[in-house]
């Protein structure tokens, strides 16, 4: 099963996000064991922290969110490694991905070649298969 990137994390915690319902169902499926082998890219947690910091959230709120993500049953993390960083650099050159999209994409490629994301930028990368979150719930 695939790697999850930032958009599902943001949608999960933000009830007004257009993807909130699907993100909630996705994470419920993971927690219940219905969706097996789904992993969270560590780079998504880093991006999550930076986005919230840029929006003025305090350290305690950010820390609590990340701790809550870690408590989701059956959701393991794929670490950010030097191999991921190097692969991401190649992806940025080849496909003009943003910095964090390239990290998430590289993580997915090196994990199992699939990523759960609403962002269609991944569709241009032949090494990864983007799974629309609506197709999983």
Taking a C-beta distance cutoff of 8 angstroms, is the pair 123, 130 a contact? yes
Considering the chain, what is the average pLDDT of its residues?
Answer: 95
Taking a C-beta distance cutoff of 8 angstroms, is the pair 62, 47 a contact? no
CA atoms within 13 A on the CB side of 56: 0
Does residue 1 surpass a pLDDT of 80? no
pLDDT of residue 137: 83
Q: What is the pTM for the complete model shown?
A: 0.94
Which residues, including other chains, have CB under 8 Å from residue 60's CB and lie 6 or more apart? none
For the domain made up of 3-135, the CATH class stated in words is alpha beta
Domain extents in the chain: 3-135
pLDDT, average across residues 110-134:
95
Phi-psi region of 113 (alpha: psi -120 to 50; beta: other; left: phi over 0): left
Q: What is the pLDDT of residues 88-111, one digit of tens each?
A: 999 999 998 999 999 999 999 999
Distance CA 118, CA 90 (A): 22
Ramachandran angles phi, psi of 8, nearest 5°: -75, -30
pLDDT of residue 114: 96
Taking a C-beta distance cutoff of 8 angstroms, is the pair 126, 94 a contact? no
DSSP per-residue letters across 23-62 = HHHHHHHHHHTSS-S-EEEHHHHHHHHHHHHHTT--HHHH
Q: What is the pLDDT of residues 29-48, one digit of tens each?
A: 999 999 999 999 999 999 99
């Amino acid at each position: 099963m695939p790697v999850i990137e930032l958009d599902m994390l943001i949608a999960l915690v933000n009830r007004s996000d257009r993807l909130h319902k699907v993100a909630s169902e996705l994470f419920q499926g993971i927690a219940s064991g219905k969706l097996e082998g789904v992993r969270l890219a560590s780079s998504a947690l880093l991006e999550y922290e930076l986005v919230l910091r840029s929006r003025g959230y305090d350290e305690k709120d950010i820390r609590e969110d990340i701790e809550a993500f870690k408590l989701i049953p059956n959701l393991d993390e794929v670490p950010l490694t030097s191999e991921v960083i190097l692969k991401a650099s190649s992806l940025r050159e080849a496909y003009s991905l943003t910095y964090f999209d390239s990290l998430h994409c590289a993580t997915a490629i090196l994990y199992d070649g699939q990523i759960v994301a609403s962002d269609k930028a991944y569709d241009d990368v032949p090494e990864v298969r983007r799974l629309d979150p609506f197709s999983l719930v």
